[in-house]
Structure 1
């Protein structure tokens, strides 16, 4: 069907900005605001739901909520330390909450009365974060929630002419803030929208397109995620014809596509993930603590995502005083240790299109170097993995990234190799596999090495890079 506000192009972006985003593959998400102060509790009661939703969970009056800005002293905030932590973890960009659903702004917006200007320190915290991360070489994306519980003109739906008038004022306010952000921080690489699921926003698809166009005019090349957009029929992410709106799909939140579902790679995409399962903002509750993911789980998710041409945006929720929680620092350090050794399998990599999903982990591939990486996340009980090489290729080398040493590979047939892996390993192992074209290889019937006997002439080769 003909759409005015749906996808404006069916072609995938291919420019230096989006190519850098693809190359990065790993980003840090930061949720920080007033909600970090009560950390999931209000008047002695802990609410297990997400800390950033506490104003709704605890039914807090807006005036009472805004009053806690007086306690937002951020005495331990050090943007440079945050940026160093992210870089050491292996992240290549950061997405930070400029404004979340409660309306509080990390920059001194001229269009709101609930900003850092109302805090004791009065500092432009967002500006400090942008500067610190860019100094470390990380790109910066700004998260902006259209939903705003504080603004008097916000509406969940349009039920009357008065609602329509009020919401028109609200859309003007939001557009003014976004213009302000793009003008104040012109070096940012992207805008990450949220809080666009309500009927009021979906009924104004024209505005979502206008905002996207405005931002790209103010910052040429800037990226906008799919959550911003809606068409004239209220379809989000993908328009009523099924075509994606925005520059990358951002619908995967605390969930991932199946590891064998390669259809997701039709578009650039990013999945955002928390460390505690149920909260983006800092939460001190026991339930949040009990649900924290292990570094190995997060590394496996990173490998899963990159194997499908996606990016992982891993969330951190700093405390109310500005310090990163100890468990987040430890998690970042553990991931960073793994990335220091195995980052070649992540940065600059994507789907290994000629390699089938193996079950014991994931393959990633660097198109520039031609190297395929076998990331072992579930060691078989046999202690052996059996990669199947692409048709028309033969093995050149297998190398363990952990030791940079060649690994012995047993050739089971023309396409299947057998590699022993240490059963005692507690973190994902990575093997770099190089193949070369084999013009002499005849078309053969695939043999399942798990059920077929190895050929009598099978040979063992120690192969080197």
Structure 2
């Protein structure tokens, strides 16, 4: 069908099957902020008050520009000590070379992780664009690396059979503002929101649609209030260009195909499709300050995926590359570990639907999650004990016709006194979550 630039027409668009089925995507935060690669690891988003102190002690390395502009706090002090008080953020364009970047290596790694779509930052809040846009020369083709990073990455991702989406920060552009944003109100009401800037953001987003025909249009924070009337035209053009495309929910509540959560798991089942995005550490952009203790563990990453899928979500796990274009070893190892697990257990993830129960926390410490497809119900057991152990699941909500285990371990299954009793056998130490398949 042909979409019209009217909300009644836009609202007829539905979430395409591919997006519901794929479950796992890769987020990429890479830009000028990858040069200083510094933020104070103050805590996970939501664990510290979202006030003036948060903006000065911001754990997000991609917010480096704003954290320095705060004029106090650890990021500001680091910047003055390392680069000098007169070194402005835009000068990082002279230091960013991406000299070791190989987009084919990135795409190969993402494919191995089990991801089925990739969404890089085309322009973050700092305003620096990673494609050869005609609307500003503040971009990676004309400054810094001297390459159209998005075109090269798009080609590499699609050559591996994955879908390519685009992130764009529509609300903020620190390249045209000069004061630090120190409150949530200032973030959503920046002083650069003129009619001219709203037109600039609209034109760039249309350019991204026409240039890349992205499978996902991922806007951040909000959309310029002076440009809200343009959104039906943007959405209609996008859906007519990419009929199976999807848009997220950060467009001032005008429209969305799916909801987003940031550093937040599912805590209740949602009929509406949603997506969890988060870094492996406390930051999206690479932060040289972070150590392994700030990262989710290898098994916690798998559990995050399971938890998200069980509650009807997709996981968009972030990669924060270094300025030279290499992916930090601690991030690469987790993606490869996740991929090895997916090689065996992906039937319990891809193309599944939530079950009537999402999870159960057992008295013995294990947590059991549920997913299903047309023929099977999957039990995904996190924190399994090494060796042999017994799980007791009260009043199971299915027929308990055990089919098989996924992976190299054994299991005996029986019903006893109304409980589903599962004996797990030969579980290795520090095991990743294990999966059992039952016939519907």
Please indicate, yes or no, whether the TM-score normalized by the shorter chain is above 0.5.
Answer: yes
Structure 1 pair 104–148 and aligned structure 2 pair: CA distance change class (3 A): same
Residue 281 (structure 1) aligned with residue 249 (structure 2)? no
Report if aligned partners of 2:123, 2:169 keep a CA contact under 8 Å in 1: yes
Report if aligned partners of 2:286, 2:320 keep a CA contact under 8 Å in 1: yes
Deviates more, 1:222-231 or 1:130-139: 222-231
Residue 57 (structure 1) aligned with residue 57 (structure 2)? no
Matches of residues 114-133 of structure 1 in structure 2 within 5 Å? 114-119=138-143, 121-133=145-157
Report if aligned partners of 2:402, 2:437 keep a CA contact under 8 Å in 1: yes
Q: What TM-score, normalized by structure 2, do the two folds share?
A: 0.81
Query: Which whole-Å CA distance do the structure 1 matches of 2:358 and 2:221 have between them?
Result: 38
Aligned twin of 1:13: 14
Aligned twin of 1:150: 175
2:209 to 159, 179, 182: 182
1:379 to 376, 384, 389: 384
Aligned twin of 1:31: 29
Aligned twin of 1:367: 373
Residue 351 (structure 1) aligned with residue 354 (structure 2)? yes
Q: What TM-score, normalized by structure 1, do the two folds share?
A: 0.77
Runs of 5+ unmatched residues, structure 2: 41-55, 70-78, 80-84, 180-185
Report if aligned partners of 2:396, 2:420 keep a CA contact under 8 Å in 1: no
Displacement of 1:421 in angstroms is 4.9
Runs of 5+ unmatched residues, structure 1: 232-244, 437-465
Displacement of 1:333 in angstroms is 1.4
3-state SS of paired residue (2:125): coil
Query: Which whole-Å CA distance do the structure 2 matches of 1:420 and 1:11 have between them?
Result: 47
Structure 1 pair 63–19 and aligned structure 2 pair: CA distance change class (3 A): farther
Residue 338 (structure 1) aligned with residue 341 (structure 2)? yes
Report if aligned partners of 2:403, 2:438 keep a CA contact under 8 Å in 1: yes
Which protein shows a greater Rg?
1
For residues 284-317 of structure 1, the C-alpha deviation after alignment (integer angstroms, 9 at most, x for no partner) is 01x4553111110110011001111110000000
Report if aligned partners of 2:359, 2:370 keep a CA contact under 8 Å in 1: no
Matches of residues 396-411 of structure 1 in structure 2 within 5 Å? 396-403=401-408, 407-411=411-415
Structure 1 pair 357–350 and aligned structure 2 pair: CA distance change class (3 A): farther
Aligned twin of 1:255: 264
For residues 162-187 of structure 1, the C-alpha deviation after alignment (integer angstroms, 9 at most, x for no partner) is x79x611111111111111111112x
Displacement of 1:133 in angstroms is 0.6
Aligned twin of 2:256: 246
Displacement of 1:9 in angstroms is 7.2
Query: Which whole-Å CA distance do the structure 1 matches of 2:58 and 2:173 have between them?
Result: 22
Deviates more, 1:128-137 or 1:204-213: 204-213
Query: Which whole-Å CA distance do the structure 2 matches of 1:290 and 1:395 have between them?
Result: 39
Aligned twin of 1:224: 247
3-state SS of paired residue (2:165): strand
Matches of residues 63-462 of structure 1 in structure 2 within 5 Å? 64-119=88-143, 121-146=145-170, 147-151=172-176, 167-186=194-213, 188-196=214-222, 201-202=224-225, 205-231=228-254, 245-250=255-260, 252-258=261-267, 261-262=268-269, 264=270, 266-277=271-282, 279-285=283-289, 287=290, 289-353=292-356, 357-359=360-362, 360-368=366-374, 370-379=375-384, 383-387=389-393, 394-403=399-408, 407-413=411-417, 416-422=420-426, 424-436=428-440
Displacement of 1:346 in angstroms is 1.1
Query: Which whole-Å CA distance do the structure 2 matches of 1:5 and 1:157 have between them?
Result: 25
For residues 137-159 of structure 1, the C-alpha deviation after alignment (integer angstroms, 9 at most, x for no partner) is 11111000011111359996779
Structure 1 pair 230–356 and aligned structure 2 pair: CA distance change class (3 A): closer
Displacement of 1:6 in angstroms is 7.8
RMSD between superposed Cα atoms in Å: 3.2
Displacement of 1:49 in angstroms is 2.6
Number of residues of Structure 1 aligned to a counterpart in Structure 2: 396
Query: Which whole-Å CA distance do the structure 2 matches of 1:62 and 1:224 have between them?
Result: 40
For residues 220-266 of structure 1, the C-alpha deviation after alignment (integer angstroms, 9 at most, x for no partner) is 332110112434xxxxxxxxxxxxx310001x1011122xx12x2x1
